[in-house]
Amino acid sequence: MSFPKNFLWGAAAAAYQIEGGASEDGRGPSIWDVYCHDKTIDPKTGRSNIDNGDTGDIACDHYHRYKEDVALMKEIGLKAYRLSISWTRILPEGKGKINEKGLEFYDNLVDELLEAGIEPYITLFHWDYPQALMKLGGWSNPESVDWFVEYVKIVINRLSDRVTHWITFNEPQCHIIIGHLLGECAPKLKLTYEEVFQAMHHLFLAHGKAVQTIRKYTRKPCKVGYAPCASDVYPVTDSEEDVEAARKAAFDASERHLWNTSWWIDPVILGKYPEEGVKAFAEHFPKALLKKEDLEQICQPLDFLGINLYRGIGIRSSEEGYVRADNKIGYDRTAFKWPVTPKILRYMPKFLYERYKMPIIITENGLSMADWVSLDGKVHDPQRIDFMNRYLLELSKTIEEGIPVNGYFAWSIMDNFEWSQGYGERFGLIHVDFETQLRTLKDSAYWYHNIITTNGECLQGL
């Protein structure tokens, strides 16, 4: 079978990872600018915040090269491009005075995409929180909800005459857990669990009010979604017992483990925190967060659930319900050392739809490879092609079962600044020489062009 007739084939990127122009045309600093420029060496690890001391100051210079980049997207044949907005390019202080130059950039980018026949999917927050607001407490401050809504309203007023697809937050669990609990990325905090739950709650409230704001002020009919990652699991066999065990593991919040999917999607779609999770964290979870009016504010109707899926953990049934299966010796892995687990694209969309009854879009999927320009001037990345082929084959199976998966966004459109790994990991369909900014379409980009053109019919093994 081919994919559904109107299946959305796209690729994704994020503002801080590709734009550069960090201090140009009035843009203010975000927490990632501050984090990158803190060169303090950790005595325990012997490293600074970012590998090689890299920063996002220039990144892929997309701020100046967006026309070239959109032309390459068109050459690949993308139907959609998922981008994010830099909050501090619009509001340098996070609130207050609007930076017209910042809005002009996104105006021009959206126009360029539409002229190329590429639908913009805009993510409103992809981790680059304004430093000025961080000084006021960030998500720990109850006012953060209204700060975010102020920013969202400005963007909607400016772009919603042309943009019809919006995503509020990208991977909030990474932003909160890694950045606010573990202190291993920006803003490099180590909050208590009580403080983390409070920050989570404010973020959820910001999501809910943002959805209301988008729907109130949009200038065209629109669709609104949310894009967390998930506690990615898959059954080690397709037996009914293992599938049921994996389904249970996917949403089991009974352990003191904040990564579980239920913590990050249940409040947004079901209007409640996971009961077993609240019980597990009873001594730390503020009961005030269970207020009915807050949960009603958080739980606003959505049009789709975006989900970022890369790797997973095998699950098998046991007398206790389920156990995590160890990876086989010498397991297949990416350059990032992530296991290659295509079955998550068969089972996680299925599990998510069964629980949340929401159409699914794969908002990120891809891998890092050790890519370079070969002597023939090309970039040969056969493992990326094989990886994407395997994952898309599994996705086709869940679609064939009737699960409404409406789109797939490859991560990422180009090699970029990969957060704490700096420029050491290459996820792109387009190779970027970060010294010259030369772009080279990889073999996978041409392969993806064929996938898009045939609507997936040329997948090997379909």
Point out the annotated binding site for substrate: 17, 126, 170, 310, 411, 418-419
Catalytic residue among 19, 112, 364, 394: 364
Active site residue 119: no
- Each of the 462 residues of the chain gets a pLDDT tens digit; together they read 679 999 999 999 999 999 999 999 999 999 999 999 999 988 888 889 999 999 999 999 999 999 999 999 999 999 999 999 999 999 999 999 999 999 999 999 999 999 999 999 999 999 999 999 999 999 999 999 999 999 999 999 999 999 999 999 999 999 999 999 999 999 999 999 999 999 999 999 999 999 999 999 999 999 999 999 988 999 999 999 999 999 999 999 999 999 999 999 999 999 999 999 999 999 999 999 999 999 999 999 999 999 999 999 999 999 989 999 988 899 999 999 999 999 999 999 999 999 999 999 999 999 999 999 999 999 999 999 999 999 999 999 999 999 999 999 999 999 999 999 999 999 999 999 999 999 999 999 999 999 999 999 999 987
Residue 118 φ/ψ, nearest 5 degrees: -110, 125
The CATH number for 8-453, chosen from 3.30.390.10, 1.10.1740.10, 3.90.1300.10, 3.20.20.80, is 3.20.20.80
Instruction: Report which secondary-structure segment, H or E, holds 217.
Output: helix 193-217
Catalytic residue among 19, 112, 171, 425: 171
Can you tell me the distance from the alpha carbon of 373 to that of 52, in angstroms, rounded to the nearest whole number? 21
Active site residue 171: yes
Point out the annotated binding site: 17, 126, 170, 310, 411, 418-419
The domain spans of the chain are 8-453
**Which own/partner pairs from 198-203 qualify as long-range (CB within 8 Å, at least 24 positions apart)?**
198/140, 198/286, 198/289, 199/138, 199/139, 199/140, 200/139, 200/172, 200/176, 200/263, 201/289, 201/294, 202/139, 202/140, 202/141, 202/142, 202/144, 202/145, 203/139, 203/144, 203/169, 203/172, 203/176
